[in-house]
Amino acid sequence: MAERVFNLPDLGEGLTEAEIVEWLVEDQAEVSIDQNVVVVETAKATVEVPIPYAGRVATRHGSTGDVVRVGAPLITVSDNAPATQAVQGEDGDDGSGAVLIGYGTGHADQTRRRRAPRGALNGATDRSCVDATASLPSAFTQQRAPQVISPLVRKLAADGGLDLRTLRPASGTVLRRSDIESALSARTNKQSAEPEKSVVAADGDERIPLAGVRKAIAEKLLASRREIPDATTWVDVDATELLAVRAQLKSSGISLLALLARFCVAGLQQFPELNASVDGDTIVRHKQINLGFAAQSPRGLVVPVVRGAQEMTTRRLAEALGDLTARARTGDLSPGELTGGTFTLNNYGVLGVDGSTPILNHPEAAMLGVGRIIDRPWAVDGQLAVRKVTQLGFTFDHRVCDGGSAGGFLRFIADAVEQPVRLLADC
């Protein structure tokens, strides 16, 4: 009886490893083509992985909490059923509908993959631009009852200490987020699980593993500090008129963040050398303005990306920002929505601070920071007045431009903040 080893497939976005969150099958269990067999967590998202052929589970390579490298054995199955799917690595037929990078649409040689900083685009792929993080087709979710399709639902239940096998959907056969939230509300004495596994030493020190999203962030920050010679410049501006315009447009759903994003897009169109990155000895000026912005999520600070922001009206930009912000708060963003940025807007004023010298979001070449807006004395037409003042900070990669371009961009944004109607008239 032949055995087949299913290796952890390439999950895209340059990711090189994943942590086993939960096995969905037991040893000796029968599995079918495209059945989800394991839940893994990468630095970008939690993903249910389907197997591309049928058989009986012979070996599960790893336990919950283990980190598995891409291409390493994940699960071995005994081939005791008629083969309807090509062996992994060969051209697939119609047996598997699974579309994870690495199999199902033809598997490229894994030796072509080169290690890149997490969050970097993997330019080596030619697999029809398949996004392994997109929602899987319904055929992939055929599991034992109760069915759980969303990785977010599994994570929410795990964080609340709930056993999915004890829950039943309020309607239908699929457990949804509302079912988990109802169960958590009914257990008012249940404490939330710790987000990280930690060990308390004899001397009382707590040791928390640098893993998952925190590890990815650390690697990216190190790459930025190691590779990018950055500089920061700043200016105080009168934001009184900006707040007045925001108040007038609030009923239209246009937020302060959306107005600042509009100013950034207009500024980058005036100074395209800042919408760039450095690749080896080459400066790459990006045609698209993919605007990232800092947002809080259940997994910590993330940077969702509004793609093609230069094509959007202010209203459409506000809608995109609002949608990404809402889904960041629920942890419902895909890895594809957290990568590919060309410029970052960091509104750290919401944290109650005036200024910062941030680390650039590698491999981007520039970032605009906005501090809190507070009452300060300000000279207006030669008279002292109390105005709404904020500090704008601009951090840039000195390889892509000199201080003239950086200062010009920052002054452009400052003028837009002080006289927003003039710029918005053309948007």
Residues in the chain: 427
Rg of the chain (C-alpha set)? 25
Look up residue 97 and give its DSSP letter.
-
What is the rounded CA–CA span in Å between residue 396 and residue 228? 9
| Residues in contact with 98: Cβ distance below 8 Å, sequence separation at least 6, in sequence order | 34, 50, 52, 104, 136, 140
* Phi/psi at 215 (5° precision): -65, -40
Torsion of CA 203, 209, 214, 216, to 10 degrees: 140
Find out whether 42 and 335 touch, Cβ atoms under 8 Å: yes
Look up residue 353 and give its DSSP letter.
-
Find out whether 19 and 67 touch, Cβ atoms under 8 Å: yes
What single-letter amino acid sits at 4? Answer: R
Residue 315, SS3 per DSSP: helix
Residue 141, SS3 per DSSP: helix
Which residue's entry shows tokens 């008629």? Answer: 82
| Residues in contact with 365: Cβ distance below 8 Å, sequence separation at least 6, in sequence order | 228, 274, 275, 276, 277, 278, 343, 396, 397, 399, 400, 401
What is the rounded CA–CA span in Å between residue 110 and residue 103? 11
Around 74, how many Cα atoms within 13 Å sit in the side-chain half-sphere? 30
What is the rounded CA–CA span in Å between residue 54 and residue 33? 5
Find out whether 77 and 51 touch, Cβ atoms under 8 Å: yes
What is the rounded CA–CA span in Å between residue 361 and residue 217? 10
Which parts of 156-308 are beta strand (E)? 199-200, 206-207, 230-238, 276-279, 282-285, 291-293, 295-297, 300-302, 305-306
Selected catalytic residue, list 61, 107, 286, 398: 398
Find out whether 76 and 48 touch, Cβ atoms under 8 Å: no
Verify whether residue 398 is a known catalytic residue.
yes
What is the rounded CA–CA span in Å between residue 33 and residue 261? 46
Rounded to the nearest angstrom, the gap between the alpha carbon of residue 274 and the centroid of all alpha carbons in its chain is 23
- Active-site residues, by number, are 398
